[in-house]
Amino acid sequence: MSDWEEEYNEDSVDIQKPAKKSAPTEWKLPHDDRRRGNVCFGVRNENRFGAPREWRADRSAGGSEYRSRRGGGEGRPCPWGTDRGDAGRRTYGDEKSDCSPPVTITVENASVGRIIGRGGAKIRELEESTGARIKINKGDYEGEVVIFGSSAAQQKAKEMIEDLVADGSYRFRNGMKGGQHGGGGVGGGYRNGGDVGVRSDSVWGAAELQAGNAVPARISIDWNTIRENKDKYEELKWKDLPPMKKKFYTEAESVSMLTAEEVSEWRKENNNIFVDDLKEGEKRHIPNPCRTFMEAFEPYAEIMENIEQVGFVKPTPIQSQAWPVMLSGEDLIAIAQTGTGKTLAYLLPGFIHMDGQPVPRAERGGPGMLVLTPTRELALQIETECKKYRYKGYKSICIYGGGDRRGQINLVKGGVDIVIATPGRLNDLQMNELINLRSITYLVLDEADRMLDMGFEPQIMKILLDIRPDRQTVMTSATWPTGVRRLSKSYLKNPMMVYVGTLDLAAVNTVQQTVLIVHEEEKKSYVFDFIRNMQPQDKVLIFVGKKLVADDLSSDLCLQGLAVQSLHGDREQCDREEALKDFKNSRVRILVATDLASRGLDVHDITHVFNYDFPRNIEEYVHRVGRTGRAGRTGAAVTLVTRENWRMASELIPILERAGQEVPEELVLMAERYEKHKSEKEMYNSGRGGGGGGGGWGRRDGGGRGGSARGPKCGF
């Protein structure tokens, strides 16, 4: 039985599994060889490299050895015995006088199979073509290829093995032991460096690799410890936080005295306010609403002065219910349409919260309130709203992408109390350690649904890592989709939820909505016609789907001598700000905009919204329409619907119905046709999916042989 047969089964799988050991080989003095006297010891034949070694792995200690059974040719015995059996008897071809110390190359185990080949074929081929003898010792992770023979044969074999292993992207560790080129003393070999190759496409199968212990043991991850460490790290991170106060509410007597029936009646009459406690387990008392400013802010004279100054008569429904919750220190989710007064709903309690902190403002070391909001326009608008009120001289700044970064940094450095920011720019300042977020105790996630739509979740997550976890958090959103629910679960603690109206999408009912079914090519004449009929006090926001259309339409209108502005993401920030300013102060009464302006844009006197292009989704329709009919006014919306928008028809109908608007017959027909088309398409697809050979649904043109000649017809 050959050596190969001893050590491999038919598939070259190493039968003798090496024991665990990291060092591939243990080198020992070959005492037997000394006794045989065939070694090059002694003064004249002294081995200048020191004592020869037995190039064999010690099996008891682990590792395994693979060696070719082929011998060399006739000639002078070689002192570098290749195994116990034939050490000293081997000769190496014609190079009689040249029997060099063995050369060792270290390769990773995954490469060993390549050198051996199936059933040892490759190693035999190598030996035949080079005249060298090759022995392989496999360890746990690496193997050693030991090459015996004349230096020429060794060199040739070494090169061939390197080529074999280094093939393609292979990296390779080339080590020499026994020192072909010098070095002395026992074990006087040297490694000439390199690194261990990493390759997964070994010629060895999984079983072989496993048998050869070529694959390192799977590292199991101790998640419990990781979690524990994370908690410990968190504890450590927030260890030295200064104290914080959240409760600032004293319920007025007139509020306490309200009966449950009175409260429920009041909520119903005020846009059907609904309040819920989202805390799991035992529910808390939900504060009664404050029906007047005095009921909410009596102890805060400066707030009351501000309200008197702006001239508001009474709190909006969301404010009435949100203020007692927020002043009580609870986290809050406010689901409210734009224009309902939600900005003031979170700003005023924020002022009181900051002022009531035990750490004096001068020692805070950073802002106390952060409002995260999706767009620059919204950020600027919140800042404007914020600046309307003066409270304790608080300073606010706006941080948004596209704005003057250096200027924003300087403002932060100058010391601010309130930061109103878009997530991207704030995250940029945070990563560059240009802003301290640890001082923030009052956080607002404004228009959370929009922030998620715009893909800001990663930035929000990073920002919140640096804000103390025991802060007070308020989140506003116009809608309540799954993403927003998930966000609220992660970042709010036992919040209360206040929503105005139903949680279904509902366009404001102060807006008269007209839907016109038109052809794409008619759209321009409709909009021109509309503009021709505008009254001097009218102000229209025209929504288009693409930036290009915004430019195109606004220049068409300009060419007609109309004063018009456009607003879209490709315009410079200063141009965007100017466009908005012109529209706000009525220098222009026509603004052509993309959905950049669909949310949050607060221009009180927009009389009309004109949907030139139908929005991407029905939520956006609701937001667009909400740009008019604000702050107690009425408004009108005109929406052009083309056949391309037919899939939206069935979603638009309930919105119109709920707001008590007329639903055009054509829109209903469009919705029906689309539903029909959809079900036919589904049937068609399921027919195809069944692989039903020759069925009538099998061909688009409806001409399938052997089945019904009816193909699915386009419904529109």
Residue ranges that bind ligand AMP, judged by CB under 6 A: 312, 315-316, 319, 338-344, 385, 602, 631
Cβ-Cβ contacts under 8 Å for 395 (sequence gap 6 or more): 415, 416, 417, 418
The secondary structure element, H or E, covering residue 158 is: helix 151-166
Helix/strand/coil for 654: helix
Cβ-Cβ contacts under 8 Å for 500 (sequence gap 6 or more): 270, 271, 272, 273, 274, 317, 318, 335, 336, 337, 340
Helix/strand/coil for 102: strand
- What's the token pair of residue 12? 């070259």
Q: Which is nearer to ligand AMP, 137 or 319 (CB)?
A: 319
Tell me how long the chain is.
716
Q: In what order do the strands lie in the sheet with 635-641?
A: 511-517, 635-641, 608-611, 540-543, 590-593, 564-567
Nearest to 515 by CA among 316, 318, 665: 665
Give dist(CA 142, CA 197) in Å, integer. Answer: 10
Give dist(CA 430, CA 450) in Å, integer. Answer: 22
Give dist(CA 400, CA 451) in Å, integer. Answer: 14
Judged on CB neighbours under 10 Å (0-12, 13-18, 19+), 219 is: exposed
The answer to whether 665 and 636 have CB atoms below 8 angstroms apart is no
Give dist(CA 596, CA 627) in Å, integer. Answer: 12
Rounded to a whole number of angstroms, the minimum distance from the CB of residue 571 to ligand AMP is 23
Other Cβ atoms less than 10 A from the Cβ of 604: the count is 12
DSSP string, 470-491: TSEEEEEESS--HHHHHHHHHH
One-letter identity of residue 396: S
Distances in whole angstroms, Cα of residue 632 to Cα of each of 159, 335, 344, 510, 542:
87, 19, 16, 8, 22
Q: Which is nearer to ligand AMP, 385 or 675 (CB)?
A: 385
Q: Which is nearer to ligand AMP, 385 or 582 (CB)?
A: 385
Judged on CB neighbours under 10 Å (0-12, 13-18, 19+), 534 is: middle
The secondary structure element, H or E, covering residue 173 is: strand 173-176
Q: Which is nearer to ligand AMP, 388 or 546 (CB)?
A: 388
Rounded to a whole number of angstroms, the minimum distance from the CB of residue 268 to ligand AMP is 19
- What's the token pair of residue 515? 């839907």
CA 130 to the chain's CA centroid: 56
Question: What's the 3-state SS for 205-273?
Answer: CHHHHHHCCCCCCCCCCCHHHHHHHHHHHHHHHCCCCCCCCCCCCCCCHHHHCCCHHHHHHHHHHCCCC
Distances in whole angstroms, Cα of residue 542 to Cα of each of 152, 240, 284, 597:
85, 53, 46, 10
Give dist(CA 96, CA 286) in Å, integer. Answer: 101
CA dihedral 642, 644, 649, 652 (to 10 degrees): -70
Angle, CA of 131, 132 and 137, to the nearest 5°: 150
The answer to whether 93 and 131 have CB atoms below 8 angstroms apart is yes
